[in-house]
Amino acid sequence: MNLYEKLADEIEDLVRSGVLLPGERVPSVRQMSQHRKISITTVIRAYVLLESRGVLESRPQSGYFVRQKPSQENKARSAPQPPLQKTHPLPVSTQVDMSRLVLSTLRSINSHEAVPLGSPYPDASPFPLQRISKYANIIVRRHHHWSVLDDLPPGNPHLIRQIARRYMENGQSADPGEIIITVGATEALNLCLQAVAKPGDTIAVESPTYYAFLHAIERLGMRALEVPTHPRDGIDIEALAAIMDSQPIAACMVMPNFQNPLGFQMPEHRKIELVRVLTERQIPVIENAIYNELYYGESHPTSLKSYDSTGMVLHCSSFSKTLSSAYRVGWAMPGKYRDLVEKYKFLNTLTTSSIPQLAIAEYLIQDGYDHHLRRIRKSYAQQASIMTAMVQRFFPSGTITSQPMGGYVLWVELPEWIDSMKLYHLALERKITIGPGYMFSTTDAYRSCIRLNYSYPWSTEIEAALITVGQLAASCERS
């Protein structure tokens, strides 16, 4: 039994025996850490575990309390953290010029000396890179006469079969003949956008949105229109429909599952409705599904592709967030645009190397992908709870966080007078990185927001860095 589990059991016994009464405040995290001579991380893990058991409840800026009995909760229910509100961007399409900002930010975030709270990439340490590399070396030794013709689109048939099989195992159907292997999901998104729209066209996106969408739109000389987005339900379909009825929209780009940066999983009925609304208007939708395997619930989420009967959904994903970003292997299932995407794949990058494709296919066959995924899902879910609790405790009053249902990023809405770019530079001076909200919109609508990465194992270094960011945010508040 881990130390935090032992502490949790001890506290639960005190509650059962009546030493700690319902509604009573338990010792603060810092007090418990000092009294027991254990780390703050251990105490937080114990308290989060007791929350999940229904023994304790956290109250923002107040601490942890013994949970009231059901009959008492109606009389004295603690005020929960106020939820994030639906965004309200202006329904105006804009030219996109995000690449310089994001590139400069990512360069500093990628510094090996900095604590990677702002990294867009998951911690690679639990990924089976050595196993995949071993398969790659075997494949290289086996094939002495490799030709570029072996790598031509749509991709290696062995990997394509394994991808289709993976969808089947997750309760979804996938036609192997529709799958096109790409250089990561980024290329898949770019190719799909190129297939459905032309320079000058307007593309509807969520707000805030994944900055790779904005990059693709900028690269192809298109315009982005940000649509109000609910932190639990996803893109506002009614607002999107009104926009489409009032001005020409060439396509829509969304992340229905574990959206970056908000982390929501769009409810099933909303996915169905979104596909229906877009299909009726013959507007294609590009679906980014790179986090679909990183769910915290009991079952794999469905995708928009699950509800597409006319080929209007262009589905994109990759292995970069679950196996290895080093190999950059992704794919697209572009529906009725399949032949056009394959053509653009050939014209843009010609091929995707077969060696990484075959190595990943071999891993999927031989090495327990599901076991690997269960391990990192459990780790991410726990670390999400810890980071959320730490932000609520150490950041300025009025800070609100997202409630991610998968993936590995936390969206933090700071008080409105705090500028995330100023906070980003202050943190960077202390060798800590964060993702400023400016990266997720063509406007400054999220100037007071930041994105944090919780994929890295919780440590005293990460804990201290997060506390420091909270203190820096408070100093911005006072200035």
Q: What is the pLDDT of residue 4?
A: 86
Q: What is the pLDDT of residues 302-339, one digit of tens each?
A: 999 999 999 999 999 999 999 988 888 999 999 999 99
Write the CATH number of the domain with boundaries 3-73: 1.10.10.10
Q: What is the pLDDT of residue 454?
A: 96
Q: What is the pLDDT of residue 305?
A: 97
Instruction: Using pLDDT thresholds of 50, 70 and 90, give the confidence band for residue 147.
Output: low
Q: What is the pLDDT of residue 146?
A: 62
Q: Span 278-302, mean pLDDT?
A: 96
> For residues 216 and 478, which has the higher predicted lDDT (pLDDT)?
216
> For residues 92 and 457, which has the higher predicted lDDT (pLDDT)?
457
Q: Span 35-63, mean pLDDT?
A: 83
Average pLDDT for the chain: 89
Q: What is the pLDDT of residue 44?
A: 87
3-73 against 129-369: fold identical = no
Q: What is the pLDDT of residue 379?
A: 92
Q: Span 101-125, mean pLDDT?
A: 80
Out of 64-73, 159-168, 260-269, which region has the weakest mean confidence (pLDDT)?
64-73
Q: Span 202-206, mean pLDDT?
A: 97
Q: Is the pLDDT score of 74 beyond 80?
A: no
Q: What is the pLDDT of residue 82?
A: 67
Q: Span 347-363, mean pLDDT?
A: 90
CA distances from 399 to 63, 352, 475 (A): 15, 44, 14
Q: What is the pLDDT of residue 75?
A: 38
Range among 62-66, 71-75, 381-385 rated most confident: 381-385
Q: Is the pLDDT score of 105 beyond 80?
A: no
Q: What is the pLDDT of residue 277?
A: 98
Q: What is the pLDDT of residue 73?
A: 40
Instruction: Using pLDDT thresholds of 50, 70 and 90, give the confidence band for residue 60.
Output: low
Give the 3-state DSSP-derived string for the chain, with helices as H, strands as E and coil as C: CCHHHHHHHHHHHHHHCCCCCCCCECCCHHHHHHHHCCCHHHHHHHHHHHHHHCCEEEECCCEEEECCCHHHHCCCCCCCCCCCCCCCCCCCCEECCCHHHHHHHHHHHCCCCCECCCCCCCCCCCCCHHHHHHHHHHHHHHCCCCCHHHHCCCCCHHHHHHHHHHHHHCCCCCCHHHCEEEEHHHHHHHHHHHHHCCCCCEEEEEECCCHHHHHHHHHCCCEEEEEEEECCCEECHHHHHHHHHHCCCCEEEECCECCCCCCCECCHHHHHHHHHHHHHCCCCEEEECCCCCCECCCCCCCCHHHHCCCCCEEEEEECCCCCCCCCCEEEEECHHHHHHHHHHHHHHHCCCCHHHHHHHHHHHHHCCHHHHHHHHHHHHHHHHHHHHHHHHHHCCCCCEECCCCECCEEEEECCCCCCHHHHHHHHHHCCECCEEHHHHCCCCCCCCEEEEECCCCCCHHHHHHHHHHHHHHHHHHHC
Q: Is the pLDDT score of 76 beyond 50?
A: no
Instruction: Using pLDDT thresholds of 50, 70 and 90, give the confidence band for residue 98.
Output: low
Out of 23-27, 299-303, 435-439, which region has the weakest mean confidence (pLDDT)?
23-27
**Domain 101-123+374-478 falls in which CATH fold?**
Aspartate Aminotransferase, domain 1 (3.90.1150)
Q: Is the pLDDT score of 93 beyond 80?
A: no
Alpha-carbon torsion (274, 279, 282, 283), positive or negative: positive
Q: What is the pLDDT of residue 24?
A: 86
Q: What is the pLDDT of residues 175-186, one digit of tens each?
A: 999 999 999 999
Q: Is the pLDDT score of 383 beyond 70?
A: yes
Q: What is the pLDDT of residue 477?
A: 67
Q: What is the pLDDT of residue 225?
A: 96
Instruction: Using pLDDT thresholds of 50, 70 and 90, give the confidence band for residue 69.
Output: low
> For residues 71 and 447, which has the higher predicted lDDT (pLDDT)?
447
Q: What is the pLDDT of residues 401-460, one digit of tens each?
A: 999 999 999 999 999 999 999 999 999 999 999 999 999 999 999 999 999 999 999 888
- What share of the chain has pLDDT > 70, as a percent? 91
Domain boundaries, the chain: 3-73, 101-123+374-478, 129-369
Q: What is the pLDDT of residues 30-40, one digit of tens each?
A: 888 887 888 88
Q: What is the pLDDT of residues 210-257, one digit of tens each?
A: 999 999 999 999 999 999 999 999 999 999 999 999 999 999 999 999
Q: What is the pLDDT of residue 294?
A: 97
Instruction: Using pLDDT thresholds of 50, 70 and 90, give the confidence band for residue 142.
Output: confident
* CATH of range 129-369; options 1.10.3720.10, 3.30.70.1170, 3.90.550.10, 3.40.640.10: 3.40.640.10
